[in-house]
Structure 1
Amino acid sequence: MKFGYIGASALTLAMVGIAGTTPVIAQSHMQQPAASIAHPDLWPKIATAPKLDPKVEARITAIMKRMSLKDKVGQLIQVDIASITPKDLETFKIGSVLNGGNSAPGGKAFAPPAAWLKLADAFYDASMKRSDGRPAIPVIWGTDAVHGDNNVVGATLFPHNIGLGAMRDAALVEKIGQVTAAETAATGINWSFAPTVAVSRDDRWGRTYESYSEDPAVVASYSGAMVRGLQGTIGQNFMTPGHVIATVKHFLGDGGTGGHDQGDTRISEAGLRDIHGAGYPPALKAGALTVMVSFSSWNGEKMTGNKSLITGVLVKRWGFQGIVVGDWNAHGQVPGCTNEDCPQAINAGLDMFMYSGNHWKQLYANTLREVQTGVIPMTRLDDAVRRILRVKILSGALDRGRPSAHKTAGDFSIVGSPAHRAIARQAVRESLVLLKNNDHVLPVKPGANVLVAGDGANNIAMQSGGWSLTWQGTGTTNKDFPNGESIWAGIRDAVDATGGTATLSTDGSYTTKPDVAIVVFGEHPYAEFNGDRPTLEFSPDDDSNLKLLHRLKAAGIPVVSVFLSGRPLWVNREINASDAFVAAFLPGTEGEGVADVLIARPDGKPDYDFHGKLSFSWPRRFDQYDLNIGEKPYNPLFPFGYGLTYASDVTVPHLDETHPTNIAGDRNAIFVRGKVAGGARVTPDGAVQVSRTDRNAQEDSLRATFTGTGTVAIDQAEPIDLTRETNGDLSLVMDYRLTSAPAGAVSLGLSGSGKAGMVPVTQKLGTETGAWRTLAVPLRCFAAAGADMKAVGQSFVLTSTGPLGIDISGIQIKSVASPDITCQ
């Protein structure tokens, strides 16, 4: 079948096999009312599980009678392991610890599994030390095991959720949950912050890949399956050894924030319920023991303080009996709160604070005082403690002893085992979506001379994406994934098995003209904050991949593109330059799963056909970032549910390559490529002159020449709120070179509410001239120095008290593994 228009017509929908799809989304849901108070009676009642066990409840009551008030308050607090030691738990009986995105035993991101288990034992032992006759209650440890036990070296990493959504295979999702639980439990950790059941509605959002689909029905079909995989099935193997506590997150509406992480979901209550709430009933029915509340807001009110939703809907209407846990210092964003003081969140229904920072003892002391003075009612405290103890009993944490004594703990042979990798490999195969296969270029014929090119070909970190050993997925190499295999390695082995030849050449150069070129390229790893983007244009500032495709095509070589991305992107030019185009999303560590589908056997037939169907609509234009099935207008390039197979007789025509001319700004890119973002302007003051100079392009850099005391600032058109970036441990990063060494004191800062928070940087700048360098200062340093991060009017302030020559080619707010300056 040939067609000249790729859209959502009845013909196209029938062609891709989704003519019977019934969108659950009504257009009226997209109203933007001011109301932020939920009406629980409008939400369905659900039969949550497990049911309360009178014996368990009696045991909880007996324990609580022996607990002191301090013991109870301690249970409400979860602290990042980067900020607390096992020794601390001997005095402060904290309820839980977690490892944040970049936290690891000993601060070593690539710590082996044994180091995790050893630290788990240490925390457990400290929590159980008591000499006062009070009950010893073990600490539990939570981790973001979101696509496998992704913090641990050697673990099996599965495709991110967007790829799993393309599989339409709930049974396989349950197996993935089982593997994730087994590998996590082997390291002594008993709590996974998964599954994410966000329904992403704006693909600019940096967490789109954590969403199974834009369609709530797909999300709902997976949420219960993943919970059963992680925790086991009620009445069969629920929370038996090798299972971990599941967390359904982020309650509620995190996928509707207009492409901004921790933003505001503006939607009617019916839309919040039907779209963003769809994944919760199946997960709660499956017995999810914890729910994590979102950073985001609903119609202007922070979720962490929204009692009508937490208590009214989740706890009372839905009957949830487990732990309601916060997200990374999210309570500090509730109006009237700080990271160290937020009774509002507990009174709204939060049971456990998630805290990061060095002042967790202040949070403990403030919460204790507020219980003592009645600001937090004793009934609310006891309810929260009861929920926490209930989960600790049901999960076995209260009875199984040291983590290393658990039945499956310490068996590191299962971490990245062949059996687990086989399941991940199957998931990779099923998640691939074939968008184009003109002239049936695929599968690659046996015995072919295959050129494998592109920066993603031999790059396990790139194919795995964010939340892979490090928070942003950056700073790793292939050797850090000892049980993984790159896409190149998988193709090489598959081609060799057919008698052909495969050659890796990242830049696409060759000596003998190949029969076909497979080019693997796409987005580089990112997680929240860094992943948010202004439009869906792929690589607007680097056309090297497009040039590579064009060069190969011009040489008469059939080109197969394997595109790695955490979301659908505008890649019309790249699709046009390819004979076949595969959306591989973020497949994880098992790159050979790609080769399983692309490379034919010696008999000319592939072992596996393409299986995946788009779980997100693919944009026709760069500005179609809120393109969702069931809404009007709906004019995608490839509709929801699209996905060719080898039997498809479809020719994709030449696509419109009109380049965007009005790309929106990105406030976190303060000064890049010679442009100041968002209507801001550069303002010199005092003994300084600012001009332009060149680095990568003509006049793409600022040149500041100080002759005495002066300031160079970037004034925002409107004040911006950088509290979420500050909480996320992002940094202000300046790319610079000195043209003359500083002769006075130099400071770098931000200004909020008319007060600058300045940090001395003279020594860090150095004295070497002529070389480009980078300086990264955590945003929290500017906050500590007095800047109001909620209303930043000057996003960059550089001062000098003496002569200084400095060129600046970039100023951005982003994640940096090791900032140049540390502060409390």
Structure 2
Amino acid sequence: MPTPQPAAARAPEDRPRYRDPAAPLDARVRDLLSRMTLREKVGQLNQRMYGWNAYRRTPDGGFELTEALHAETDRFEGLGALYGLMRADAWSGVGHGDGPDAHDGAALAELVQRHVVGRSRLGIPALFVEEVPHGHMALDGTVLPVNLAVGASWDPGLYERAAAHAAAELRARGGHVALVSALDVVRDPRWGRTEECFGEDPHLAARLAEALVRGMQGEPAERFAADRAPVVLKHFAGQGATVGGRNSAESELGPRELREIHLPAARAGVRAGAAAVMAAYNEVDGLPCAGNRALLTELLRESWGFEGLVMADGLAVDRLARITGDKVSAGALALGAGVDLSLWDEAFTRLEEAVDGGLVDESAVDAAVTRVLRLKFRLGLFEQPYAACAPPPPERGRALSTDLARASVTLLRDDRRILPVRTAGVSRIAVVGPQSATSAHQSGDYTAPQRPGTGASVLDALRDLAPPGTEIRHARGCALTGGDLSGVPEAVAAAAASDLVVLVLGGSSARTPDTGFDANGAARTVVSDMTCGEGVDLAGLRLGRAQYALLDAVVATGTPTAVVLIQGRPHVLPDTGDAAVLTAWYPGPWGGEAIAEVLLGHAEPAGRLPVSVPRSAAQLPVHYNHKDTEYGGYVDESAEPRHAFGHGLSYTAFDYGPPRRDGRTVTVEVTNSGARYGRTVVQVYLRRLITASWPRTLELCAFEGVGLAPGERRTVALPLELEGVGGTVEIRVADSSRAALAAEPLVLDLRA
């Protein structure tokens, strides 16, 4: 088939209207749709193949297209979307040497796109859909801290800038659409995908989802800028509520719990202009999200007014055959429910059969194709189907990643004021623990292979940043998993001979080629050091056995100790005696720098907890915003979390004045009463007193980070998010959910 002429090469009178850049976007879509066969339409709704199967390296270092890509484009005379062309990880098997990197990724994307456009009778380009969980998941892509760390920053503005950088990297490589986890809310931290959540609170998640959309997509507009990318918000809806914290397990969600906890982030993302959402794996009241018309059409489209694209999660449409009896009817069910674009499924490839068999009307196909084509026109792919922006400076990405990591480091406990490290009297520091000398386990799941030398461990950074003359000793002590104690004596000796111990513990989501994978890429057979990530759920939330023995032995030396946790979920930590404890979550490759800066006092511990930290898994659930009932305690253990949502200590002190109301705004005076600069997060909680249904204990409704110099006082004004709130309520302002329970309330009557 001859390659269609570029639009600019044709005489205007011969050019179809869909090829006219000056024509209204919707008119271009209608014109193109009217020219398509049913087979071509169905092809636009399929995202069947894995992108890494579309190419291979040639002996001269270039790329060639595979027979698999030719077969896929022949099937529907084109290609609607291609998933993961740039993806690199243990599941795809792509790494340095055989995959596209920063130097040739755009060339590969152009090679594939030229083939797709040439194979299409109407010259329709493909959408290149890429994973961007915490930066573009591609070789040489900037790796950002995971979402849980972003949640700990409580800083939407910083996250927005980081998201904009990730979008620019994606578009510079020839990618178009970013898949980003943003909608899941942690209700059970045993779930391995906890690291992909912003936290346990819907308001915090909503503000960060807005920031993500603004950063990735830019200001709402008909056309996306060349360095901005449409976002697919994952996962809609309620996936964080699976029973027992088990991946893809059933959920027990009533409509109120769904509305109050699991939908606000999606609602905020839609209002911010999100281009697409992904239907989740889980079911809601027995109906999987990919087949749930009440969720995808009646709520999302009709009630919320969403006009964007709905994508199914990987192989989720095929699963509907368990309900419908076969894959043809499964595809019809998903399309009728509101799914526009499939992912790896067979069911959507058979939509022609579904139309011919009367299972679904062709008008439903047209509606879905319209949304796919509209996104392609908004991206300008018919005028410029190839990468059209220069890559952003890599050093900017590293700086943003480090800034986010620094903002997320959270000081949980420091009764003896061990931190920041004092230069007087501390000349020997022992850096021990399985996370102390590696950056390989700092980046979380969905991370591409890193080039040797990328990143900085805590040990690396302390050696670079400690005052001259400081002796740094190191001993690993033990592995992340297992019970081997053979290295503990060396670590104890180093601790006993030092003035301070930095004990770096934690977990890992790093996959290896030996990991067994499900068909959708989730870990099935966990190997090596994995304790977190998709498919890696824990029953007990405990660290590796040897880590607890190492902790006990180091604390027993009596040397002042700072425990650093690098983790993708809140693990259970026993009593640490007088040790200081801070968590950095998965801070990204350069997180070691951020941690060292906080330890040494070069930066403040600015993070605040986005989740409650349990004392044991037996307490679960422990989220702060439970229903306001008279809970009894346990006979054998406290029912309170070890550390509450919103908690985080500073190296200075802050005083809060009484809250005052000014219309729909609450004001409060905040004073830095300490001796050094610090940042606090002013948190505004709502407590419903008289209401039509049983209330929650507290609900976060506003927050703002405030940096103050010693002695500085500032009046902070926080607009209240009170949509749908009525009756008599209390407003409580504090620096954590636990402190809010004792804070002076401001009573408002919203019944008028």
TM-score (norm: length of structure 2): 0.71
Q: How far did residue 90 of structure 1 move?
A: 4.1
CA contact (8 A) 1:129 1:136 kept: yes
Q: How does 1:295-314 map to 2 (within 5 A)?
A: 295-314=281-300
Matched with 2:558 is 556
Aligned partners of 1:212 and 1:339: how far apart in 2? Answer: 35
SS in 2 for 1:194: strand
Aligned partners of 2:295 and 2:157: how far apart in 1? Answer: 31
Q: How far did residue 591 of structure 1 move?
A: 2.2
Aligned partners of 1:503 and 1:184: how far apart in 2? Answer: 41
Aligned partners of 2:118 and 2:274: how far apart in 1? Answer: 30
Matched with 1:723 is none
Matched with 1:72 is 41
SS in 1 for 2:195: helix
Aligned partners of 1:349 and 1:583: how far apart in 2? Answer: 41
Q: Does 1:504 align with 2:474?
A: yes
Matched with 1:668 is none
Q: How far did residue 107 of structure 1 move?
A: 4.4
For 1:583, give the aligned amino acid: T
Q: Does 1:88 align with 2:71?
A: yes
Q: How many residues align?
A: 563
SS in 2 for 1:142: strand
Matched with 1:617 is 612
Q: How far did residue 67 of structure 1 move?
A: 1.2
Aligned partners of 1:54 and 1:203: how far apart in 2? Answer: 50
Q: 1:543 to 1:148 in 2, by over 3 A?
A: same
Q: 1:307 to 1:54 in 2, by over 3 A?
A: farther
CA contact (8 A) 1:515 1:557 kept: yes
Matched with 1:567 is 569
Aligned partners of 2:459 and 2:436: how far apart in 1? Answer: 5
Kindly provide the CA deviation profile for residues 434-454 of structure 1, in whole angstroms up to 9, marking residues without a partner as x: 111121111122363211111
Q: 1:58 to 1:200 in 2, by over 3 A?
A: same
CA contact (8 A) 2:223 2:380 kept: no
For 1:247, give the aligned amino acid: V
Matched with 1:198 is 184
Matched with 1:30 is none
CA contact (8 A) 2:438 2:456 kept: no
Aligned partners of 1:625 and 1:558: how far apart in 2? Answer: 32
Q: 1:483 to 1:400 in 2, by over 3 A?
A: farther
Q: 1:116 to 1:228 in 2, by over 3 A?
A: same
Q: Which runs of 5+ in 2 are unaligned?
A: 1-21, 55-67, 478-490, 510-529, 632-638, 655-752
Matched with 2:710 is none
SS in 1 for 2:375: helix
Kindly provide the CA deviation profile for residues 217-251 of structure 1, in whole angstroms up to 9, marking residues without a partner as x: 1011111110111111125x962112112011111
Matched with 1:379 is 363
Matched with 1:108 is 94
CA contact (8 A) 1:331 1:337 kept: no
Matched with 1:117 is 106
Aligned partners of 1:78 and 1:283: how far apart in 2? Answer: 24
Aligned partners of 1:105 and 1:592: how far apart in 2? Answer: 27
Matched with 1:804 is none
Q: Does 1:183 align with 2:165?
A: no
Q: How far did residue 119 of structure 1 move?
A: 3.0
Q: 1:301 to 1:363 in 2, by over 3 A?
A: closer
Q: Determine what percentage of the aligned residue pairs are the same residue.
A: 27
Matched with 2:252 is 266
CA contact (8 A) 2:46 2:342 kept: yes
Q: 1:238 to 1:197 in 2, by over 3 A?
A: farther
Q: How does 1:572-611 map to 2 (within 5 A)?
A: 572-573=574-575, 575-576=576-577, 579-600=579-600, 606-611=601-606
Matched with 1:729 is none
Matched with 1:656 is none
Matched with 2:465 is 494
Matched with 1:516 is 500
SS in 1 for 2:307: coil
Q: How far did residue 130 of structure 1 move?
A: 4.2
CA contact (8 A) 2:444 2:533 kept: no
| Residue of 287, 299, 324 corresponding to 1:336 | 324
CA contact (8 A) 2:89 2:446 kept: no
Matched with 2:309 is 323
Aligned partners of 1:393 and 1:459: how far apart in 2? Answer: 45
Q: How far did residue 102 of structure 1 move?
A: 6.0
CA contact (8 A) 1:485 1:591 kept: yes
CA contact (8 A) 1:331 1:338 kept: no
Aligned partners of 2:461 and 2:538: how far apart in 1? Answer: 32
CA contact (8 A) 1:521 1:563 kept: yes
CA contact (8 A) 1:156 1:483 kept: no
For 2:102, give the aligned amino acid: P
| Residue of 224, 241, 251 corresponding to 1:239 | 224
Matched with 1:407 is 389
Aligned partners of 1:564 and 1:248: how far apart in 2? Answer: 26
Q: Does 1:641 align with 2:650?
A: no
Q: 1:401 to 1:323 in 2, by over 3 A?
A: same
Q: 1:306 to 1:514 in 2, by over 3 A?
A: same
Q: 1:426 to 1:128 in 2, by over 3 A?
A: same
Q: 1:399 to 1:115 in 2, by over 3 A?
A: same
Aligned partners of 1:308 and 1:555: how far apart in 2? Answer: 60
Q: How far did residue 499 of structure 1 move?
A: 3.9
SS in 1 for 2:180: coil
**Bigger shift: 155-164 or 67-76?**
155-164
Aligned partners of 2:228 and 2:90: how far apart in 1? Answer: 21
Q: 1:294 to 1:90 in 2, by over 3 A?
A: closer
Q: 1:117 to 1:337 in 2, by over 3 A?
A: farther
Aligned partners of 1:105 and 1:264: how far apart in 2? Answer: 26
Kindly provide the CA deviation profile for residues 743-775 of structure 1, in whole angstroms up to 9, marking residues without a partner as x: xxxxxxxxxxxxxxxxxxxxxxxxxxxxxxxxx
Q: 1:498 to 1:170 in 2, by over 3 A?
A: farther
Q: Does 1:464 align with 2:443?
A: yes
CA contact (8 A) 1:73 1:381 kept: yes
Kindly provide the CA deviation profile for residues 120-161 of structure 1, in whole angstroms up to 9, marking residues without a partner as x: 223211110147xx3211111112111111x22332211111
CA contact (8 A) 1:324 1:349 kept: yes
For 2:272, give the aligned amino acid: A
| Residue of 420, 426, 431 corresponding to 2:408 | 431
Q: 1:368 to 1:481 in 2, by over 3 A?
A: farther
For 1:347, give the aligned amino acid: G
Aligned partners of 1:277 and 1:486: how far apart in 2? Answer: 37
Aligned partners of 1:338 and 1:148: how far apart in 2? Answer: 38
Matched with 1:746 is none
Kindly provide the CA deviation profile for residues 264-301 of structure 1, in whole angstroms up to 9, marking residues without a partner as x: 22122122112100001221122111110000011221
| Residue of 243, 247, 265 corresponding to 1:279 | 265
For 1:308, give the aligned amino acid: A
Q: How far did residue 211 of structure 1 move?
A: 0.9
| Residue of 343, 367, 386 corresponding to 1:354 | 343
Q: 1:562 to 1:119 in 2, by over 3 A?
A: same
CA contact (8 A) 1:86 1:126 kept: no
CA RMSD, aligned part only? 2.6
Q: Which runs of 5+ in 1 are unaligned?
A: 1-52, 470-475, 601-605, 650-824
Q: 1:277 to 1:64 in 2, by over 3 A?
A: same
TM-score (norm: length of structure 1): 0.65
CA contact (8 A) 1:516 1:559 kept: yes
**Bigger shift: 373-382 or 337-346?**
337-346
Q: How does 1:1-20 map to 2 (within 5 A)?
A: none
Q: How does 1:637-716 map to 2 (within 5 A)?
A: 637-647=642-652
Aligned partners of 1:615 and 1:105: how far apart in 2? Answer: 30
Q: How far did residue 641 of structure 1 move?
A: 0.9
Matched with 2:115 is 126
Aligned partners of 1:608 and 1:505: how far apart in 2? Answer: 26
